[in-house]
Structure 1
Amino acid sequence: MLLKTGDDERVNQLLHELQRQPLTAADQRSYDELLYLYTVRQADLLREKGDLVAAYDTLAPALAQRPNDPVAVGALARMYLANGNTDKAIELYKPLLAKSPDDPQLQIGMAQALSKAGDHRGAEKAADRALELAPNDAMVLASAAGIFRAQGRNAKAGELYARALALQAPAKADANPFAGTVAANPFVGKSGQRSQSRLSEASPSQIPQPAQVQIAALAAEDEAPARGLSSNSLAMNDRAGGYDAQPLRRGFDDDSRLAVARPQDPQEEARKSMQTALDQIKQERSPRITQGVTIRTNDSESGLSKITDVETPLEISMPVGDDRIALRVTPVSLNAGGVKDSAKTRFGGPNEAQMAAAQALLGSSPDADQLNTALGVNGPAGRQKDTGVGLAVGYEMPELGLKADLGMSPMGFLYSTAVGGVSIDRAFREDSHFRYGASLSRRAVNDSLVSFAGAEDARSGLKWGGVTASGGRLQLGYDNSEYGVYGYGGMYKLQGHNVEDNTRLEGGTGIYWYLLNDDSEQLTAGLGVTAISYDKNQGNFTYGNGGYFSPQNFFSIGVPVSWSQRTDRLSYTLRGSVGLQHIEQDSAPYYPNDRNMQAALEQISQAYAASGSTLTTRYSGQNKTGIGYNFNAAAEYRLSNNYFLGGSFGMDNAQDYKQWTGGLYLRYMFEDFTGRMAMPVNPYLSPYSSSSN
């Protein structure tokens, strides 16, 4: 009974008392069984705390006594699974199931191993079988819930967690069974584990101390060097919960350690773990409404590349089974300012009648004023601004790592068109550090008013712009919580109205290190490289140009640094990067999409030259290298259990101007939020933000 209730200290004392007494044969068998089950339990608890070396040392005597018993072998298998060796876990587990196919503990253990190996169908089959065999076993229910949650099936996981909690049993949300034979400690020297085992000591105890006592005592010894008690010191590895440095010289049954232990009730810990998981699932599946406002502006040339973009996105997101659906409404207001006199020949252009009128003057040696009048150069180009409302529907399938959306760029703009995309982002398998991603999309290019909404030259009535980028991207990444690497590549076709088609190729790679990584703080630094190439220079604003940044070669290398921190109510992230960027842009004609118009312009330019004036017909290329930088900050604060206030700010330099972005949002969740804030914070952004595409 004491063992079932988790009173490990009392069991330990009882075992010591019985060890000193003469026992009958029947009593000795009961004693041996109790010691065996108690030993396996302590090994499991040590595994759950992350110290696989100590867990194996504790389990070794039990394995030696009963090398084929599923209880001890299952505990060893759980250690292999915790160490990421799913193949070994499955290998050990198969013979156990062959002998006892109707054992629910074995079935749920195999389910967990198959889930982490990426065999979701096999895991589901084994989990369903375990639930069929033990529908009222809280441990089985909680373990199955963990499997389904890892697969993104939160609705079923929530149901199982609720049933497990209702049973009020001392379940573990994270139990995994498999097996093996006793040999040298296989976890020594593994990532995050100690470099030395205690199996080589002369007299290992037959009655291991309670796991909580060992953990508390070892944690206390972490401070021993500062107190001059270095003879038995251990350095706590806070990343994996293991221990480095010197091996312990005390036996496992050293009663002096009981004085420093403050063990917690393992059953209560399990119930809290299940309740926390259930709360998180409810929060993840909660309907929510988010209203935001974002502002983007730059210091570029008025009427051309300058833009002030104000957006007020609204999102209503609802659960649909294990998936989510979202309705997005985004009013957008753009203002590029007025076209100045110095820029009038670099915006829009003359229509056919104006061009013909200018050509008709060529035989009479016209002066510049006559030509300007004929071409309509001196007239007002009109204030460049537009407003519209974008609509979209998004759908997310966490089980598969899939996201999709379909909508319209802001209706009310000069040009509005269908936009959307589909993407996948997931690990290769449940316990893998490798991830892959792929996406196909058609997105509005929002660099300028011309590219985003389209523009009209009031002098001629010419309309052009409204550019979209259609294509795909692939990416790979590796992250083991100590360092990460990534690489990506993509290709897009850019098309617009009365705009020359273009092609963009992009690629990048990088590496980063976690300088600090715990539950409440995270600091990373790395090195990133980006390369982009456009087929044509479309970064201008005369008729036929798209008005978006499009260098023929762009290369940057930077040193990114990121800092994140969270409390129970606040989470914030600061990111920045500084480095070098190199830009090459080809010379480009004024009217790249109309050869006849370009030829006429070049002919008329000769008349300007003859009159002592100039009319430029081509944009010059450029080749320059300079400092590139960017900085971003985001924060989210929990006002109450249902309301969250967030904000973001960013700045960067692009080409020959600086850009600033900022935003605020308020989110309401229908379910109470009782957990910790997410870290790093993921601020709510407009669907048209370049960071959200």
Structure 2
Amino acid sequence: MFNDLLTRQPNNPIARYAHALFLSGTARDVQAIASLNHISERDWDDDMRALATRLERRELMSRIDKLRDSGRESVAVELMQERLSKNGDSVDDLLLLADWAAIRGEPAVGAPYVDRALHIDPAHPEARLMRIELLLAMGRTADARESLRTASPALAEDNGNANRRLANSWAAVGERQKARQILQQAEARLERPDPLLRRDTARLVADVDPTAAMAYYRQALIDAELLGASASDAELTRATRENEKDDWLVRSLRRDTAALHQQQDTTLTLQHDHGWRNDDGTPGISELLTDTTLLHLETPAAGGRSFVRAERLALDAGKLEDDAPFGACRAVSGCADQSQRATATLLAGGWRSERLEADLGLTEGFEINNLYGGVTGRGDLNPVSWSLSASRRPMSNSLLSYGGARDPVTGTRWGAVTANGTSLGLSWDEGGAHGLWSSLGYHWLLGDNVASNSRFTAMTGYYYKLVDRTDERVRTGLTLIHFGYDKDLSGHTLGHGGYWSPQNYNSISVPVSYGWRNEDWSVLLESSVGWSVSRTDGSRDYPLSSLRSKVAAINVDVANRTSEGSTSQGVSYRLQGLFERRLSDHFVLGGGVSLLQSDEYAPSRALLYLRYSFMPWRGDLALPIEPLQPYADFR
């Protein structure tokens, strides 16, 4: 039809306009512009100019999209800036440049574009909203809050995405109640699937009404066609399993839903942990076997997770030999064949959230019972995350250092050493292939009738994610460790603490880990090989004058003995294997073995546990596996 018309009237503006309009409707923009150009621009009317502008921009945007998709964004920016120079400022073009800058993580580059857009149209809703978002991205929270209060964008009620972004901005300045109100109203007006809006609504509601938040997540999964409308709770958890092909929205939906479900679930774990020493220990002193049976209940509380646990502890160091360096035994004929065993009960409880955690524990049944605890706060100083802890923890290297002992000769109780102090942790991981971490700590070591001591610790590490898939991961890296104690109190004579305490220890190691999971299994294999050097200074066998006097009253020579310092170096290695097996929607069986070998200290452990989830769980098993730690290993 148009061919015949244009053959007869090739320079008819109305015919050319109709032809160009037809071509643009069938995505043939280049041909549409060519058809318009048969008419001189001075003969164009306003409709033709508007169509030409629209077509040119659309054709330009097609080229720009291809450039950005191929990683040539700088060229795309130049083209847009040329367009602005040629045609003058356009709100849409300026906001597009600002949006690109924000996506690149350069909000300061995007801000001037938004300012120019607001100069053209001070009330433009999108420009006002983007200005607020850029202020937040630049860390100017106070300015963003002021803009929200004095120049908040007037958004159409049916613009769900813009209202979602506005709500998130209110949340970012601390106005979470207002943000929740905006999102819940927008969600209630939805007439079509919108998993993104429902996801963000759930995020903001979760801390005040987890049940409502889970309902939003359920509907978001339905909107994203990941879940059937009549699916059971168990099927909902199955829908949270991650898939390597997921896009960013689906991935976040699955993770958020899984995290909220697990945060709201109650779990009960029965675990047995067996520990032993591979080094050349001395019977009755450092040849230690430990058995810890724990029952651990964890449940949601006050917007976080709380736990209570009971541990049954059994420590067996064997029997003392003749002339054993224990208590004041060397001051007499010895304490041969005296057993060094203890059983005790430990009760502990605690609470944690994303930013704060605290715990408290106590023992009953040891020669010397003790009270322990810790508080940790966490935060972000973009791009670095930090944690700061204050704690009182047991030194569980030996029976003496953990539960204390009674000297068979003088009847003196001593030991039960605690590390009391603070530690600072820093980490950097922006989701790429690389990551860094470090830790600094200073602690005072105190015990009953034990010389006081102090410890400084500095550790740092780098890791590289060789493989980082949904169900498989391989990592390696480098770890550096330094620590030193003021005194060597590793002995088991009166006044010593029975814990390894070199004056200087340095090590470098290369860790390698492999993790894998499928529907019902999760496995983690870890290893590291390193080199360590340690130095220990000499010390008195009886470092406290009050206890030395007691021993001197029996045998002066023994009371005044000292040990010589030493230096050691060598290769160290660590091997660990952990597994979890899903038995049903409620039960998971787990276990593992860890072997550590070094010149001075070689503790190993094996564990087995059964975890019961009160709510059904068909989602992903943990990767990496993180079994419960005995309370003595809390840090």
Mind listing any 5+ residue stretches in structure 1 that lack a counterpart? 1-11, 174-240, 242-262, 351-371, 607-613
Work out the CA distance in 1 between the residues paired with 2:302 and 2:111: 31
Which position in structure 2 is the counterpart of 1:347?
326
Q: Are the aligned partners of 2:221 and 2:253 in contact in 1 as well (CA < 8 Å)?
A: no
Which position in structure 2 is the counterpart of 1:101?
154
Partner letter of residue 388 of structure 1?
A
Q: CA deviation at 1:111?
A: 4.6
Which position in structure 1 is the counterpart of 2:593?
649
Query: Any idea what SS the aligned residue of 2:369 has?
Result: coil
Which position in structure 2 is the counterpart of 1:434?
384
Which position in structure 1 is the counterpart of 2:575?
631
Partner letter of residue 351 of structure 2?
Y
1:467 is the counterpart of 2:423: no
Q: CA deviation at 1:515?
A: 2.1
The one of 333, 354, 357 aligned to 1:403: 357
Which position in structure 1 is the counterpart of 2:469?
518
Work out the CA distance in 2 between the residues paired with 1:141 and 1:122: 23
Which position in structure 2 is the counterpart of 1:491?
442
Distance change in 2, residues 1:294/1:644 (3 Å):
same
Which position in structure 2 is the counterpart of 1:305?
286
1:589 is the counterpart of 2:540: yes
Alignment of 1:219-238 (within 5 A): none
Q: Are the aligned partners of 1:141 and 1:161 in contact in 2 as well (CA < 8 Å)?
A: no
Q: CA deviation at 1:379?
A: 4.2
Partner letter of residue 582 of structure 1?
V
Distance change in 2, residues 1:143/1:504 (3 Å):
farther
Work out the CA distance in 2 between the residues paired with 1:688 and 1:31: 75
Work out the CA distance in 1 between the residues paired with 2:105 and 2:477: 26
Alignment of 1:288-299 (within 5 A): 288-299=267-278
Aligned residues: 544
Which position in structure 2 is the counterpart of 1:580?
531
Work out the CA distance in 2 between the residues paired with 1:73 and 1:154: 37
Residue-by-residue CA offset, 1:248-297 (whole Å, 9 max, x unaligned): xxxxxxxxxxxxxxx99x9xx97897466434421332111111110111
Structure possessing the higher relative contact order (Cα contacts under 8 Å, 6 or more residues apart): 1
Query: Any idea what SS the aligned residue of 1:329 has?
Result: strand
Distance change in 2, residues 1:77/1:124 (3 Å):
farther
Which position in structure 2 is the counterpart of 1:530?
481
Which position in structure 1 is the counterpart of 2:314?
333
Q: Are the aligned partners of 1:349 and 1:460 in contact in 2 as well (CA < 8 Å)?
A: yes
Query: Any idea what SS the aligned residue of 2:306 has?
Result: strand
Percent identical pairs in the alignment equals: 24
The one of 493, 496, 502 aligned to 2:453: 502
Work out the CA distance in 2 between the residues paired with 1:642 and 1:43: 52
Partner letter of residue 633 of structure 1?
G
Work out the CA distance in 1 between the residues paired with 2:472 and 2:184: 39
1:447 is the counterpart of 2:400: no
Q: Are the aligned partners of 1:528 and 1:558 in contact in 2 as well (CA < 8 Å)?
A: yes
Q: Are the aligned partners of 1:165 and 1:274 in contact in 2 as well (CA < 8 Å)?
A: no
Work out the CA distance in 1 between the residues paired with 2:127 and 2:623: 39
Query: Any idea what SS the aligned residue of 1:341 has?
Result: coil
Distance change in 2, residues 1:684/1:313 (3 Å):
same
Distance change in 2, residues 1:327/1:99 (3 Å):
closer
Distance change in 2, residues 1:596/1:415 (3 Å):
closer
Which position in structure 2 is the counterpart of 1:477?
427
Work out the CA distance in 1 between the residues paired with 2:300 and 2:58: 43
Work out the CA distance in 2 between the residues paired with 1:532 and 1:651: 22
Q: CA deviation at 1:566?
A: 2.2
Q: CA deviation at 1:510?
A: 2.2
Distance change in 2, residues 1:394/1:31 (3 Å):
farther
Alignment of 1:600-639 (within 5 A): 601=552, 604=555, 617-639=561-583
Q: Are the aligned partners of 1:107 and 1:127 in contact in 2 as well (CA < 8 Å)?
A: no
Which position in structure 1 is the counterpart of 2:406?
456
Which position in structure 1 is the counterpart of 2:369?
416
The one of 537, 541, 545 aligned to 2:496: 545
Q: Are the aligned partners of 1:420 and 1:441 in contact in 2 as well (CA < 8 Å)?
A: yes
Work out the CA distance in 1 between the residues paired with 2:99 and 2:209: 24
Which position in structure 2 is the counterpart of 1:196?
none
Q: Are the aligned partners of 2:542 and 2:560 in contact in 1 as well (CA < 8 Å)?
A: no
Q: Are the aligned partners of 1:280 and 1:675 in contact in 2 as well (CA < 8 Å)?
A: no
Distance change in 2, residues 1:13/1:294 (3 Å):
farther
Distance change in 2, residues 1:17/1:102 (3 Å):
closer
Work out the CA distance in 1 between the residues paired with 2:175 and 2:460: 36
- Bigger drift between 375-384 and 642-651 goes to 375-384
Work out the CA distance in 2 between the residues paired with 1:625 and 1:602: 39
Query: Any idea what SS the aligned residue of 2:621 has?
Result: coil
1:385 is the counterpart of 2:438: no
Work out the CA distance in 2 between the residues paired with 1:74 and 1:643: 53
Partner letter of residue 584 of structure 2?
S
Residue-by-residue CA offset, 1:7-28 (whole Å, 9 max, x unaligned): xxxxx998449999999x9999
1:278 is the counterpart of 2:261: no
Work out the CA distance in 2 between the residues paired with 1:73 and 1:128: 31
Residue-by-residue CA offset, 1:488-537 (whole Å, 9 max, x unaligned): 21100111111111111111222222222222222222222111111111
Partner letter of residue 626 of structure 2?
N
Q: Are the aligned partners of 1:172 and 1:270 in contact in 2 as well (CA < 8 Å)?
A: no
Distance change in 2, residues 1:513/1:19 (3 Å):
closer
Q: CA deviation at 1:657?
A: 4.6
Query: Any idea what SS the aligned residue of 1:121 has?
Result: coil
The one of 661, 674, 677 aligned to 2:605: 661
Which position in structure 1 is the counterpart of 2:188?
135
Q: CA deviation at 1:314?
A: 1.2
Work out the CA distance in 2 between the residues paired with 1:387 and 1:423: 30
Residue-by-residue CA offset, 1:440-478 (whole Å, 9 max, x unaligned): 111111000000011123343222111111100012111
Which position in structure 1 is the counterpart of 2:17?
none
Partner letter of residue 419 of structure 1?
Y
Residue-by-residue CA offset, 1:157-195 (whole Å, 9 max, x unaligned): 76245237548985799xxxxxxxxxxxxxxxxxxxxxx
Q: Are the aligned partners of 1:139 and 1:171 in contact in 2 as well (CA < 8 Å)?
A: yes
Alignment of 1:670-689 (within 5 A): 670-689=614-633
Residue-by-residue CA offset, 1:643-673 (whole Å, 9 max, x unaligned): 1111122111345353211111111112222
Query: Any idea what SS the aligned residue of 2:548 has?
Result: helix
Query: Any idea what SS the aligned residue of 2:442 has?
Result: strand
Query: Any idea what SS the aligned residue of 2:632 has?
Result: coil
- Bigger drift between 524-533 and 106-115 goes to 106-115
Q: Are the aligned partners of 1:456 and 1:464 in contact in 2 as well (CA < 8 Å)?
A: yes
Q: CA deviation at 1:580?
A: 1.5
Q: CA deviation at 1:134?
A: 5.2
Alignment of 1:362-377 (within 5 A): 375-377=331-333
Query: Any idea what SS the aligned residue of 2:188 has?
Result: coil
Work out the CA distance in 2 between the residues paired with 1:161 and 1:79: 33
Distance change in 2, residues 1:433/1:508 (3 Å):
same
Q: CA deviation at 1:433?
A: 4.2
Work out the CA distance in 1 between the residues paired with 2:495 and 2:510: 37
Q: CA deviation at 1:621?
A: 1.3
Work out the CA distance in 2 between the residues paired with 1:153 and 1:68: 40
Distance change in 2, residues 1:540/1:164 (3 Å):
closer
The one of 501, 511, 514 aligned to 1:563: 514
Distance change in 2, residues 1:377/1:14 (3 Å):
farther
Work out the CA distance in 1 between the residues paired with 2:107 and 2:332: 74
Work out the CA distance in 1 between the residues paired with 2:526 and 2:433: 18
Mind listing any 5+ residue stretches in structure 2 that lack a counterpart? 1-22, 37-45, 115-125, 131-150, 227-243
